[in-house]
């Protein structure tokens, strides 16, 4: 609601007219299956109840993007977008989505978000999906939610220039309230899995901001692709752990080991969640974190301290870093009626272990995916 009001207020203030359309796309948190979505592996995200809202109206003089509290985004014309010369300000996410869906008409847009940026909750995917679904409606492009997700990934890869996988945009476009999804990134099949009623999803932010573009993300992707090439497979989903252990280069071996073992953990986690097998959930999430720390090397001391603090609370079903890493947040599954106590205890432990960063904590609801509609 706050988002809609903010987007609306800024629209009227800057463009001096009323908006005609609105779209919304949520952020996501991933329970397990990290850095496997560019190797055809399964991931286990849920769309959360925080996201990006865009209100829009037709424009006769190019597309313009504004957002309360931010500088105006660089303007662009949808007919002249070129991924080789992307617009340079934050409006590149909006322009990239317009480019990727094949937008026909220029729009005035006002963007508002309650998703913190740089925390690993996919604020960039949310803006791409919200913009994609908006143009899909306005220009009647006939795209389904999965097409919008794919376009969002193309925007990020080719227009924004970050080589991400398909997980974030799919979770944002196709989330379902009360459920997480097992997304097979090889086939793009989705199995929705209800979250247990007595479990809360807690996001534990480290206060260390990350940015995928300049982090080691592209480097990790290149290394794991090189490992696949040396093993003669197109993606590591098709390699076994025995294959991986034969790799000569110790760094490539570690990177590939993470991917192959993480893929196996996701399928085990799906079974454990269904059976509400708390012990298995705990050890799978912990093993995922340790593999990201030691083999893929995308964690950082703050994420490690946060994960350890999560593991130490008696109400924890499981916890680990979530998203691309190098900062950002941990996710924990926690007994619902002890979530408040969990958050205050973990906050205290984190504060004593990590000087100079402040943790922040929130319980998230698993929410529906993106939608767009016409305003009255």
295 binds ligand GLA (CB under 6 A): no
* Binding-site member from 11, 27, 29, 37 for ligand GLA (CB under 6 A): 37
Instruction: Sketch the per residue contact string, 306 through 345, with ligand GLA: x for CB under 6 A, - otherwise.
Output: -----------------xx---------------------
Least distance in angstroms from the C-beta of 121 to ligand GLA: 9
Least distance in angstroms from the C-beta of 32 to ligand GLA: 10
Q: Which is nearer to ligand GLA, 212 or 223 (CB)?
A: 212
Judged by CB under 6 A, the chain residues 251 through 280 that form the site for ligand GLA are none
Written in H, E and C, the secondary structure of the chain is CHHHHHHHHHHHHHHCCCCCEEEEEEEEEECCCCCCCCCCCEECEEEEEEEEEEEEEECCCCEEEECCCCCCCCCECHHHCCCCCCCCCCCHHHHHHHHHHCCCCCEEEEEEECCCCCCCCCHHHHHHHHHHHHHHHHCCCCCCHHHHHHHHHHHHHHHHCCCCCCHHHHHHHHCCCCEEEEEECCCCEEEEEECCCCEEEEEEECCCCCCCCCCCHHHHHHHHHHHHHHHCCCCHHHCCHHHHHCCCCHHHHHHHHHHHHHHHHHHHHHHHHHCCCHHHHHHHHHHHHHHHHHCCCCCCHHHHHHHHHHHCCCCEEEEEEECCCCCCEEEEEEEHHHHHHHHHHHHHHHHHHCCCCCCEEEEECECCCCEEEECC
Least distance in angstroms from the C-beta of 240 to ligand GLA: 21
Span of 29-37, 67-75, 234-242, 279-287 interacting with ligand GLA by CB under 6 A: 29-37
Span of 3-11, 34-42, 98-106, 334-342 interacting with ligand GLA by CB under 6 A: 34-42
Instruction: Sketch the per residue contact string, 181 through 220, with ligand GLA: x for CB under 6 A, - otherwise.
Output: -------------------------------x--------
Instruction: Sketch the per residue contact string, 127 through 166, with ligand GLA: x for CB under 6 A, - otherwise.
Output: -------------------------------------xx-
168 binds ligand GLA (CB under 6 A): yes
29 binds ligand GLA (CB under 6 A): no
List residues with catalytic annotation. Answer: 168
Span of 35-43, 56-64, 95-103, 105-113 interacting with ligand GLA by CB under 6 A: 35-43
Binding stretches for ligand GLA (CB under 6 A): 34-35, 37-38, 122, 164-165, 167-168, 212, 323-324
């Amino acid at each position: 609601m706050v988002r809609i009001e903010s987007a609306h207020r800024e629209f009227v203030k800057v463009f001096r007219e009323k908006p005609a359309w609105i779209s919304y796309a949520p952020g996501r948190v991933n329970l397990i299956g990290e850095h496997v979505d560019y190797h055809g592996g399964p991931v286990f995200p849920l769309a959360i109840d925080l996201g990006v809202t865009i209100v829009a109206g037709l424009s006769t003089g190019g597309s313009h993007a504004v957002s309360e509290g931010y500088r105006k985004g660089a303007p662009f014309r949808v007919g002249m977008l070129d991924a080789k010369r992307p617009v340079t300000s934050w409006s590149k996410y909006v322009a990239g989505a317009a480019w990727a869906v094949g937008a026909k008409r220029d729009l005035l847009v006002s963007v508002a978000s309650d998703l913190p940026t740089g925390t690993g909750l996919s604020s960039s995917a949310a803006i791409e999906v919200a913009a994609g679904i908006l143009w899909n409606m306005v220009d009647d492009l006939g795209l389904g939610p999965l097409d919008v997700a794919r376009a969002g990934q193309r925007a990020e890869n080719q227009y924004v220039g970050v080589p991400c996988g398909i997980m974030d945009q799919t979770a944002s476009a196709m989330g379902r309230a009360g459920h997480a999804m097992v997304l097979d990134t090889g086939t793009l099949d989705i199995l929705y899995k209800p979250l247990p009623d007595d479990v809360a999803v807690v996001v534990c932010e480290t206060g260390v901001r990350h940015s995928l573009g300049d982090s080691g993300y592209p480097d990790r992707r290149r290394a794991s692709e090189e490992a696949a090439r040396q093993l003669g497979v197109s993606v590591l989903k098709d390699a076994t752990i025995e294959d991986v252990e034969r790799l000569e280069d110790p760094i490539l071996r570690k990177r590939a080991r993470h991917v192959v073992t993480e893929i196996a953990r996701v399928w085990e986690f799906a079974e454990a969640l269904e059976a509400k097998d708390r012990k298995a959930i705990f050890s799978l999430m912990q093993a995922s974190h340790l593999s990201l720390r030691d083999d893929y090397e995308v964690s950082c001391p703050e994420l490690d301290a946060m994960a350890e603090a999560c593991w130490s609370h008696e109400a924890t079903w499981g916890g680990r870093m979530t998203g691309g890493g190098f900062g950002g947040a941990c996710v924990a599954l926690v007994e619902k009626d002890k979530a408040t106590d969990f958050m205050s205890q973990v906050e205290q432990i984190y504060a004593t272990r990590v000087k100079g960063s402040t943790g922040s904590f929130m319980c998230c609801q698993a929410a529906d995916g993106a939608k767009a509609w016409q305003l009255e």
